């Protein structure tokens, strides 16, 4: 009961809207402010799978040496929102693993975490669904 309340409270402020029709992930205003993108010359996102929690996450400007697919943080002037295009993994793959309907939009809570090396990343929480994978 307490866990559901905490999840609900967190979802009011720090969340993403994942859209499987165009593989985009849009930040909430509070999440965008916590990313502190405005002070950066280049803002790129690395999306990845977290095996321990069976969740997905993303990191801003990771220090990766090898060639890796990174998504640019973009402003959508039509909808007045900020986010990124998630192609690896795709939003459809995330929805499949989370047991969500394909080709839809979904609001998902985000937790701020730290790696063992102390780097900050954002974990996209699993929703409470009846048939998770």
pLDDT (average), residues 1-30: 83
Look at residue 65 in the predicted model and tell me its pLDDT: 86
The encoded tokens of residue 95 equal 């929805």
Quick one: tokens of 111? 């937790």
131 pLDDT more than 80: no
Average pLDDT of the residues in 20-36 = 90
- pLDDT tens-digit series, residues 52-76: 999 999 999 998 888 888 998 988 8
In whole angstroms, give the CA distance from residue 71 to residue 69.
Answer: 7
Average the pLDDT over 103-120 and give the result: 91
| Residue 57 lies in domain | 2-124
The answer as to whether 132 is a domain residue is no
pLDDT band at 13 (very low <50, low <70, confident <90, very high): confident
**CA atoms of 133 and 130, how far apart (whole Å):** 10
CB-based burial label for 46 (10 Å; 0-12, 13-18, 19+): middle
* 131 domain-assigned: no
For residue 50, tell me if it sits in a domain.
yes
Task: List pLDDT tens digits, range 67-104.
Answer: 888 998 988 888 788 999 888 888 999 999 999 988 89
Q: Which residues share a beta bridge with 57? A: 48, 123
Distance of CA 71 to the CA centre of its chain: 12
> How many domains in the chain?
1
Q: Could you tell me if residue 43 is inside a domain?
A: yes
Binned at pLDDT 50, 70 and 90, residue 50 comes out as: very high
133 falls within a domain = no
pLDDT in the model for residue 7 = 63
What's the chain's average pLDDT? 87
């Amino acid at each position: 009961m307490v866990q559901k309340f905490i999840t609900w409270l967190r979802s009011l402020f720090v969340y993403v809207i994942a859209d499987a029709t165009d593989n985009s992930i849009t930040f909430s205003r509070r999440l965008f402010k916590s990313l502190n993108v405005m002070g950066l010359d280049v803002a790129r996102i690395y999306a990845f799978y977290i095996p321990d929690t069976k969740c997905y996450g993303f990191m801003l400007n990771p220090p990766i040496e090898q060639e890796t697919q990174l998504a640019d943080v973009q402003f959508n002037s039509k909808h007045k929102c900020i986010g990124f295009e998630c192609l690896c993994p795709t939003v459809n793959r995330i929805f499949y693993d989370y047991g969500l309907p394909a080709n839809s939009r979904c609001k998902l809570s985000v937790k701020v975490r730290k790696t063992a090396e102390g780097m900050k990343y954002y974990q996209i929480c699993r929703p409470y669904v009846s048939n998770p994978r």
